[in-house]
Amino acid sequence: MRLSFFGGRFRVNLLFLPLLYYLVRNFGIETILAFFLALFLHESGHMIMARLMDIRILSFELLPFGCAAHMESFAVVKGSKEILVAAAGPLMSLLFAAFPNLLIKESIFLNAAAAYSLSLAALNLLPVLPLDGGRILSCVLSQAMQPLRAAKICSVCGLVLSAALFLFGIVSLFMGEFLPTLLIFSASAIYASVFYLKNAAFSFIRQIEKKPREFAKRPLIGVRHIAALQGTAPEEILTHFSARDLNLVHIVGKDMKLQKTLSEGEILEKLYQ
């Protein structure tokens, strides 16, 4: 299902439908509206920060654990900006969660929205892609290692945590306590983690392929120089690429003399061959 929302496509993930059914069946319309208010405010934090950072939002996807904002390629965006955009959503949720307690304590609707905001902030700070916590962790790790490896490590962390939460939900079920929200969330998080783990290399290549269009908008870019011995496989060279800089690969022989210099586009062509 796709709609237009704030200039970007709005998509409803099919995994959200079981959660929506559970909310409609067990809670009143006021509670559902409170949930969507909390969701809107959370995403507004991302939108405001993205606008301040001059980053365009392409689409929104409604998931069981919230709404994921898909933005333009971070190929030319500094890691610190990506962290700020990712953290802005949970920060907005935490600020709103404190609002009713400070000013309007007797509003049932606002208290419900505040409770959902607190839950959204906690869930989205978990290190699971594509949650905000997963994006922050991936960005931090990419400062210390190759971005592709950082994305895979983050995906594995998310998979382990999601599986542990799902197992906890199953154990609770056998002990007589049914936690449907936890089971839906953890199951969808497991699916997302497996997807990101399997498609990490493909997503990284897609991000590099989008770089020329992004650089046309921001003509000043950084350059990353990589030295590789002649005969090194393109797949191995790719793991050392930076998604934010222009990658230049200097091919050297065993005598350490420069043979030639290849652009990242030429490396991708060799990879496709």
Is the pTM higher than 0.75? The answer reads no
Give residues with Cβ within 8 angstroms of 53, minimum separation 6: 77, 81, 84, 85
Dist. CA 113–CA 109, nearest whole Å = 6
Strand pairing category for 57-63 and 66-71: antiparallel
State the DSSP H helix or E strand holding residue 258, giving kind and residue range, or none if neither. strand 258-263
- The pLDDT of residue 157 is 93
Q: Which residue has the higher pLDDT, 71 or 34?
A: 34
- What pLDDT digit, counting tens, does each position of 52-79 carry? 887 777 677 777 666 666 666 555 556 6
Secondary element (H or E) of residue 69: strand 66-71
Percent of the chain beyond pLDDT 90? 14
Q: Which of 47-56, 125-134, 259-268 has the largest mean confidence?
A: 125-134
d(CA 219, CA 213): 10
Chain segment 158-171, per-residue pLDDT in tens: 999 999 999 999 99
